[in-house]
Structure 1
Amino acid sequence: MFAKAVKILILFVLFCANVKAQKQDTIVVAQDGSGKYRNIQEAVESVRAFMDYTVTIYIKNGVYKEKIVIPSWIKNVEIIGEDAFKTVITNNDHANMNKMGTFRTYTVKVEGNNITFRNLTIENNAEQLGQAVALHTEGDRLIFINCRFLGNQDTVYTGTEGTRLWFTDCYIEGTTDFIFGPSTALFEHCTIYSKRDSYITAASTSKDTKYGYVFKNCKLTAALDVTKVYLGRPWRPYAATVFMNCELGKHILPVGWHNWKNPENEKTVRYAEYMNTGEGASTKERVKWSKQLNKKEAAEYTVEKIFKINNNWYPHK
């Protein structure tokens, strides 16, 4: 009897050890070989599918030239860089390369849900020969904290209707339509840098989605020779974009918004502003089909209301 009990205990200990071995809490990526993996994609692929616990992929400083996909079966993962300026994921695909088209040019594509990125740079450094996406998102409940997104045309593509994204303390740069897509996305305390006279946003919000892009307490800046930038133009007729309590540089045009050369869009777009400051914030010459929110309307733009789509989500740092 005693021997049987000991055997059961040994089997139980071995089982627990095996479970613990499979459960990776932190995975280190380092180009110098000091981590478990030398490239990021290998680390992502080592994560077990549909986990109910959080795994951290910690990436040491370095320039990682990779084209990364975080597949739909990966969830509850934090991808953390050692330093936002020194941990760089880069690639250089563009739309006119081998007839690639816009949506295959990404440097990082996120299909999974509940993924957090922190303290790193995602870059598409392709020559300006066509659209070139740095970040392509399809997952829901994605968080980006203290990250840098570098590119030219179409830098950040928020690619799936009904998904929710939160960008906080981030830097996003580009030339044309460099934040675009149908997702609901909240940008807080971000710097938005225009590299060319063009358009910042190109939302394609669906008719039935109340909130599209919401920028709160952000700073809009530009290169010295950039003087004519629109806040946005509608990629689809019901585009929704709001700038609230943001500092708008003098590069923002007095009219503010563009109809994408289609007057019919003026009847459906949902473009609004509230209490912005800076040389580009004057509303005297804004297009008549945009809106200035009153205090009561602005109060509707809370995290709880913005992100309440199919279920509640309260992102935090």
Structure 2
Amino acid sequence: MKKILLSGLIILLLNSVFAKASILDTRYSNLDTKYDFVVAQDGSGNFKTVQEALNAVPDFRRVTTTIFIKNGVYKEKLNLSVSKQMVTLIGESVEKTILTYDDWAQKKNLFGEEKGTSGSASCYIYGTQFTAKNITFQNSAGPVGQAVALFVAGDKARFFNCRMLGFQDTLYTYGYASRQYYYQCYIEGTVDFIFGSSTAVFEDCEIFGKRGGYYTAASTPDSTQYGYVFINSKIHGDAPANSFYFGRPWRPYAKTVFINCDLGKQLKPEGWHNWNKPDAEKTTFYAEYKSKGVGANDQSRVKWAHQLSEKEVADNYTLEKIFKGWMPK
């Protein structure tokens, strides 16, 4: 009888343990994705800092490493090195899982030298096949010039329901070989706050302009067919009317296209700026298709910009075509 009671007690305890484990797995999972590490500032996870978790990822691991980050403001200057591939970061909530730092371009390093734009970033992503979900990437330096929140160089980078917060140069899409996908993300800033040479698609995103300036500053090389493509996105802000351009060419062959986007009053009627480089008007490719909203005004755009046809969009602006076979969804 005692053995039966003892066996029953053991079974009850094991069921309790398994039930708790199941609850934890559900709490720290996103759909069918389970976590490998948990980051929590209160010590309840595997690590207290995000960088510790990134460092713990085995170099050149061939399967996805998933890191769950509990709510908190993590003030860290983060670096995911090129050897840390297939890493996924999942925040507990996009509003309360905040990765932030406060460097800026003119800030001095320990040698007394200016950090520069690239050196100002709060978070560097070099590893390939990186994914982030439900996370805020922030540079909290304020309106002090170039201050990058997120620097993305790795190929096949994906961001779902994330926020990128800053002022000038918020999001740096670095490297022409890097393909990047942003879905239902919120990106805010002032001057050139989405910039770089990568091929990047922003789908169902909110692009929020503060004060006035330029939404984009692409530096697409002449050998690359696609630069920035915004699809079904909202382009607006709290800046005054007629205070923002779609973009200006950081490099001569800049390519930026807006497809089915809702444009706010902030957009200037002319749409685009040549950055005082008349020759760039001949080499850039700036275009729209079926813009809507207060800022939609295809008759007033600069003459060197384009209005795409339905066939051009259908033939050339699918994710598969833009990303050369990579399907980020």
TM-score (norm 2): 0.87
Name the CA distance, whole Å, in 2 between partners of 1:284 and 1:271. 15
Return the offset for 1:227. 3.5
Return the offset for 1:198. 0.7
Name the CA distance, whole Å, in 1 between partners of 2:104 and 2:232. 32
Name the CA distance, whole Å, in 1 between partners of 2:142 and 2:127. 29
> Could you say which residue in structure 1 is the equivalent of 2:296?
281
Does structure 1 conserve the Cα–Cα contact (< 8 Å) formed by 2:243 and 2:268? yes
Name the CA distance, whole Å, in 1 between partners of 2:83 and 2:320. 26
Alignment of 1:62-141 (within 5 A): 62-98=72-108, 99-141=114-156
Return the offset for 1:77. 1.1
> Could you say which residue in structure 2 is the equivalent of 1:307?
323
Return the offset for 1:51. 0.9
Name the SS of the counterpart of 1:41 in structure 2.
helix
Does structure 1 conserve the Cα–Cα contact (< 8 Å) formed by 2:236 and 2:264? yes
Does structure 1 conserve the Cα–Cα contact (< 8 Å) formed by 2:169 and 2:193? yes
Q: Which of 181, 195, 204 is the aligned partner of 1:166?
A: 181
Name the SS of the counterpart of 1:257 in structure 2.
coil
Name the SS of the counterpart of 1:117 in structure 2.
strand
Does structure 2 conserve the Cα–Cα contact (< 8 Å) formed by 1:246 and 1:275? yes
Q: What code does the residue aligned with 2:84 have? A: I
Which is worse superposed, 217-226 or 138-147? 217-226
Q: Which of 27, 42, 50 is the aligned partner of 1:32?
A: 42
Name the CA distance, whole Å, in 1 between partners of 2:272 and 2:236. 17
Q: What code does the residue aligned with 1:151 have? A: G
> Could you say which residue in structure 2 is the equivalent of 1:20?
none
Does structure 2 conserve the Cα–Cα contact (< 8 Å) formed by 1:195 and 1:226? no
Does structure 2 conserve the Cα–Cα contact (< 8 Å) formed by 1:197 and 1:226? no
Does structure 1 conserve the Cα–Cα contact (< 8 Å) formed by 2:153 and 2:173? yes
Question: RMSD of aligned C-alpha atoms?
Answer: 1.0
Name the CA distance, whole Å, in 2 between partners of 1:70 and 1:87. 18
Q: Which of 63, 70, 81 is the aligned partner of 1:60?
A: 70
Which is worse superposed, 127-136 or 28-37? 127-136
Does structure 2 conserve the Cα–Cα contact (< 8 Å) formed by 1:25 and 1:54? no
> Could you say which residue in structure 2 is the equivalent of 1:241?
256
Alignment of 1:132-281 (within 5 A): 132-225=147-240, 227-281=242-296
- Work out the number of aligned pairs and report it: 290
Name the CA distance, whole Å, in 2 between partners of 1:60 and 1:313. 30
Q: After superposition, give the CA deviation of every residue in 1:148-190 in whole Å (9 maximum; x if it has no partner).
A: 0000000000011121000000000001000000000000000
Name the CA distance, whole Å, in 2 between partners of 1:211 and 1:224. 29
- Shift of the 212–224 alpha-carbon distance from structure 1 to 2, 3 Å rule, reads closer
Gaps of 5+ in 1: 1-23
Does structure 1 conserve the Cα–Cα contact (< 8 Å) formed by 2:167 and 2:191? yes
Return the offset for 1:81. 0.2
Taking every aligned residue pair, what percent have the same amino acid on both sides? 51
Q: What code does the residue aligned with 1:163 have? A: S
Return the offset for 1:225. 3.4
Q: What code does the residue aligned with 2:136 have? A: T
Name the CA distance, whole Å, in 1 between partners of 2:168 and 2:220. 19
> Could you say which residue in structure 1 is the equivalent of 2:54?
44
Does structure 1 conserve the Cα–Cα contact (< 8 Å) formed by 2:35 and 2:68? no
Q: After superposition, give the CA deviation of every residue in 1:174-225 in whole Å (9 maximum; x if it has no partner).
A: 0100000000000000000000211000000010111100000000111153
Name the CA distance, whole Å, in 2 between partners of 1:96 and 1:138. 22
Return the offset for 1:127. 2.7
TM-score (norm 1): 0.90
Does structure 2 conserve the Cα–Cα contact (< 8 Å) formed by 1:163 and 1:183? yes
